[in-house]
Structure 1
Amino acid sequence: MTNLFALNENLSVKILNPNNPIQKIIIIDDILKQPNNLIAFAAANNFSPYAGHGTGKGYPGLRLTPPSDYSNTIVDFIKPLIRSEFAIPENLEMGKSECALSLMTTKPEELGPLQCVPHFDTSNINQFAVLLYLCGQPHGGTAFYRHNATGLEFITPATKDRYLDMFFAELNEKRPAQQYFSESNERFTKIGFLPAALNRMVIYRSCVIHSPYLIDPGRSINSDPRTGRLTVNTFVAF
C-alpha cells in the first residue's frame, strides 16, 4: 500500500548552533514527498480544542490526530538523527508522547496570561519538540528567548524552581499585554528566530524558552487548514 506521507528523497538537513549541546537545532527542509496530502487530510477532518483551551492555558487553538502512516514515518526517520546529533545514550529508548495537527485559532483578546509570554515545555533535556510547518513564511515561525531576570535560555531540573519563582513573581506583579509575544521586552530578550516554510521540520529540546512568532495575527488566527497556521506538533523523549 502506498504511503501518502512518505519522505522526500531530496530532503535537506541543516544543523544550527552545532557546538551547543543544549540549543542545537535540526532543520529539515522538503521533508515530505507530498505535504499537500497532510493538508488535505486536515481540511477533510474535524479538529477539537487542545486541553486547557477554555482556561487560557496551553496551545491556543485546535488539534487533530494525524494518520499513523505520518507518525510512524517521521519517528523512524528522526530517532537515529536525534540520537546522533544530541548524543543520546544508547541505553535510553525513545517514546512518543504526542503528535497533533495544530491550528492557532485563539484571538489575542482571548489569550490567558500564560499564553502571552514565552514558555518551556519541560525541564527534561532529553525531550524534543518536532515541529512540521504546513504553512509558509507569512505565518511567522518560532522564536527563542532569554529570561532577563535569571539569564536563563533553557530550563533544567536544577534551575526550574528558581526560574518559576521569578517568572510567577513577575506575572503577578504585572500581567503581560494581551497579545502574542514577539519581540524583546523588559522580561524576555529574543535570541533567535526560525522562519516558517512549507514542508520544513525543526527539532529542538523542549527545555528551551520559546514561543510561536506571528507576523500577522489577523492572517494566522484562522480555522481553515488551507490558509491558517497549520503545523504538526510531535513530542518525543528518551
Structure 2
Amino acid sequence: MTQRLPPLSLNRNARIEVRRIGEEQQPVFVVDEAFNGCEDLVEFAARSAFVPPTTGSYYPGLNAHLPANYLPTLLPALERPLTEIFDALPGRLGRSYGFFGLTNLSPGQMVVRQSLPHTDSANARSFASVHFLSASFGGTAFYRHKATGFEVVSNVRANAFKTVRTREIESLDGQPRETLSHLYEEIAHIEPVFNRLILYRATQLHAMRLENADALSIDPKYGRLTANTFLNT
C-alpha cells in the first residue's frame, strides 16, 4: 500500500545563515525551520521500511526512501544559493538523489571508512545537504587533514590525499581509533537542530559528530534521523 505523501512546503520565514569555515573559507549554507510540515516528514519516516545501505555505501546505519515530493520541493529552492554562494552555473541542476538516514552504529562498531572524515565526491560541482530530523545525537563536523592541509578534496587533490591517507592508515594499523582521528583537525561543527538543513560542497572533508550513542534507536521518531540529499550542477 502506497503511503500518503506528507504535505511538505518550504517555510518562507526560515532563518538563513552562511558560515565560512576553515582557512579555505568554504561556505556552509544553514537554514533553520526549513520546512513546514516537518513533523509529518518524521511520521512518514516512521511508517517507512528501513534497510541496510546499498553496496558501496559506508553510511553507518539504515536507509529508507524519501517521500516522492521531498526533492521536488527542496531542489528548486537550492538553485539560488548554489549560484550566488557556491558559484554554480545557473540552470544546471543535474542528477540528484536522497534518502532517510537512521544511524544505528556506535563509534566502536564503525569501520574506519565510516568514522574518519571523508568526502562524498571529488567532483567540484557536486553538493550535499543534511536535513536534521532529530536534535539529540550530534551534528555534522568539518575538518582539515593535518598532513596535507586540505579541507576540500576535489579531483586535483584526490590522488595526493589518497596516497597520504593510505600511508597514514597503514602505519597506524592496529592502533586505537582515536589515534586515526588525531590526523584531522576540526574546523567547524554545525549543531543538530530539528528542521535545520545544511548545504555544503560534497568535496568538503566532514563526518558525523555522534553524541549520546548509547541512546540510538531504530525507531525514526526517537533515533538520529536525517534526510540526506546529493546533487550535481
Normalization by structure 2: what TM-score?
A: 0.90
Residues 186-228 of structure 1, C-alpha deviations (whole Å, 9 max, x = no match): 3111111000000000000010110000122112x32110111
Q: CA deviation at 1:133?
A: 0.2
Q: State the partner residue of 2:84.
A: 84
Name the SS for the 1:48 alignment partner. coil
Q: Tell me how large the CA RMSD over aligned residues is.
A: 2.5
Q: State the partner residue of 1:123.
A: 122
The counterpart of 1:211, out of the listed 199, 203, 207, is 207
The counterpart of 1:17, out of the listed 2, 20, 30, is 20
Mapped partners of 2:115, 2:87: distance in 1: 33
Q: CA deviation at 1:82?
A: 1.3
Q: CA deviation at 1:21?
A: 7.9
Contact between 2:115 and 2:207, CA under 8 Å: does it hold in 1?
Answer: no
Mapped partners of 1:190, 1:36: distance in 2: 32
User: Given the superposition, is the C-alpha separation of residues 120 and 135 from structure 1 closer, same or farther in structure 2, using an over 3 Å criterion?
Assistant: same
Name the SS for the 2:98 alignment partner. strand
Q: CA deviation at 1:20?
A: 8.4
Q: CA deviation at 1:177?
A: 3.5
User: Given the superposition, is the C-alpha separation of residues 229 and 82 from structure 1 closer, same or farther in structure 2, using an over 3 Å criterion?
Assistant: same
Structure 2 runs not aligned, ≥5 long: none
Mapped partners of 2:24, 2:16: distance in 1: 17
Mapped partners of 1:49, 1:3: distance in 2: 24
Name the SS for the 1:189 alignment partner. strand
**Which amino acid in the other structure matches residue 63 of structure 1?**
N
User: Given the superposition, is the C-alpha separation of residues 18 and 193 from structure 1 closer, same or farther in structure 2, using an over 3 Å criterion?
Assistant: closer
Mapped partners of 1:141, 1:78: distance in 2: 21
The counterpart of 2:188, out of the listed 192, 195, 212, is 192
Q: Where in structure 1 do 4 or more consecutive aligned residues deviate above 6 Å? A: 18-22
1:41 aligns with 2:44: yes
Name the SS for the 1:46 alignment partner. coil
Name the SS for the 1:78 alignment partner. helix
Name the SS for the 1:192 alignment partner. strand
Mapped partners of 2:182, 2:71: distance in 1: 40
Identity of aligned residues (%): 26
Normalization by structure 1: what TM-score?
A: 0.88
Q: State the partner residue of 1:236.
A: 231
Q: State the partner residue of 1:31.
A: 34
Q: State the partner residue of 2:105.
A: 106
Q: State the partner residue of 2:151.
A: 153
| Count of equivalent residues | 229
Mapped partners of 1:97, 1:86: distance in 2: 17
Mapped partners of 1:74, 1:38: distance in 2: 13
